[in-house]
């Protein structure tokens, strides 16, 4: 495993590199991975984060918007030897915080909230490495482009792949999520959903005066309900592997009605049962995920329709 540091105006000392290597080595071992499963780890600050991801793969996207900003990215690849290895980019702020907490020597449950959360982020990225190694499904779907024709199938193909990867990584890393981090993740999800619903309402109001906003509105609505399923899949995933979190609830956003609540409950059962077949998932699961997305959208007043003339959104 090669570790590269890309931080402006920083000359990493041998002591710091040793601490980072020990931390990552510990996490890798705890995840049941081998050091040979990880080809390289790039620690990058904000200035170098995007370019580091581009360097490990020029064909992958990462979250970077007003609601969520990526702090870790895993890309798994086949070697000529027939083995799968992973390259990781981690935001330097994560490592700085965890190394600082480790140096204090106290139990993880006594770390501050951010310390617990950043440690889990490392394990979650390693969960993606483990998923890539086991499931061997490392394709990167085409990024949804809101400037092109609106196609429901493209949206579902793109987000469904993300959902299954996040769900798998969460189950693999669930043992390392504390109740504190679970509550933080749920609270963050609810806040983002409510912000997005408000933004969609504003888009609908603007659309009445500017029809050119239709594409943005359609892609935003479609992405939001996949986002909800993705975020809840993470919470469901960690509860599967962590008994300490089994009794933690799945609270819903303020505007969620009884129908949405029922859909999320059934969704919980759907992907929990699906884990029993991991990694041998079939097309039935993919169809059920698409149907769940469609039903959740409809419960909130949005209907996606496929026709021979093109795809449309109604509300």
Tell me the pLDDT tens digit for each residue of 93-140.
888 899 888 888 778 988 999 999 999 999 999 999 999 999 987 776
Preceding omega of 289 cis (within 30 degrees of 0): no
Which residue in 65, 72, 18 sits closest to 41, CA to CA? Answer: 72
- Global pTM reads 0.92
Instruction: State percent of the chain over pLDDT 90.
Output: 71
The full set of domain ranges for the chain reads 2-135, 152-314
CA distances to 86, 104, 175 from 180, in Å: 29, 19, 13
Which residue in 156, 164, 90, 94 sits closest to 131, CA to CA? Answer: 164
How high is the pLDDT of residue 208?
86
pLDDT beyond 60 at 194: yes
Which is more confidently placed, 5 or 122?
122
Least confident of 6-10, 176-180, 286-290: 6-10
Mean pLDDT of 206-218: 90
What is the Cα 233 distance to its own chain's centre? 9
Residue with tokens 């496929």: 306
Tell me the pLDDT tens digit for each residue of 252-284.
999 999 999 999 999 999 999 999 999 999 889
Instruction: State percent of the chain over pLDDT 70.
Output: 91
CATH 3.40.390 fits 2-135, yes or no: yes
What's the mean pLDDT when you consider all of the chain?
90
Secondary structure (H, E, C), 74-129? EEEEECCCCCEEEEEEEEHHHHHHHHHHHHHCCCHHHCCHHHHHHHHHHHHHHHHH
């Amino acid at each position: 495993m090669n570790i590269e540091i890309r931080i402006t105006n920083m000359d990493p000392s041998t002591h710091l590199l040793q601490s980072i290597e020990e931390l990552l080595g510990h996490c890798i071992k705890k995840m049941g991975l081998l050091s040979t499963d990880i080809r390289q780890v790039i620690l990058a600050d904000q200035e170098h984060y995007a370019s580091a991801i581009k360097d490990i793969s020029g064909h992958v996207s990462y979250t970077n918007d007003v609601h969520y900003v990526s702090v870790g990215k895993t890309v798994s690849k086949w070697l000529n030897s027939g083995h799968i290895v992973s390259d990781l980019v981690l935001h330097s702020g994560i490592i700085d915080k965890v190394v600082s907490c480790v140096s204090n020597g106290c139990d993880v449950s006594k770390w501050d909230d951010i310390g617990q959360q950043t440690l889990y982020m490392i394990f979650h990225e390693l969960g993606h490495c483990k998923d890539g190694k086991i499931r061997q499904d490392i394709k990167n779907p085409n990024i949804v482009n809101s400037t092109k024709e609106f196609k429901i199938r493209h949206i579902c193909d793109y987000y469904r792949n993300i959902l299954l990867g996040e769900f798998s990584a969460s189950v693999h890393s669930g043992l390392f999520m504390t109740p504190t981090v679970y509550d933080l993740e749920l609270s963050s999800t609810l806040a983002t959903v409510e912000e997005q619903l408000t933004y969609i309402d504003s888009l609908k109001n603007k659309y009445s005066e500017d029809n050119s906003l239709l594409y943005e509105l359609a892609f935003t609505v479609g992405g939001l309900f996949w986002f909800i399923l993705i975020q809840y899949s993470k919470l469901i995933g960690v509860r599967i592997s962590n008994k300490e979190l089994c009794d933690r609830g799945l609270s819903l956003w303020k505007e969620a009605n009884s129908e949405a609540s029922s859909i999320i409950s059934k969704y919980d059962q759907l992907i929990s049962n699906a884990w029993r077949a991991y990694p041998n998932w079939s097309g039935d699961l993919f169809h059920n995920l698409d149907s769940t997305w469609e039903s959740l959208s409809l419960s909130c007043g949005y209907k996606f329709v496929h026709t021979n003339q093109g795809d449309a959104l109604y509300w």
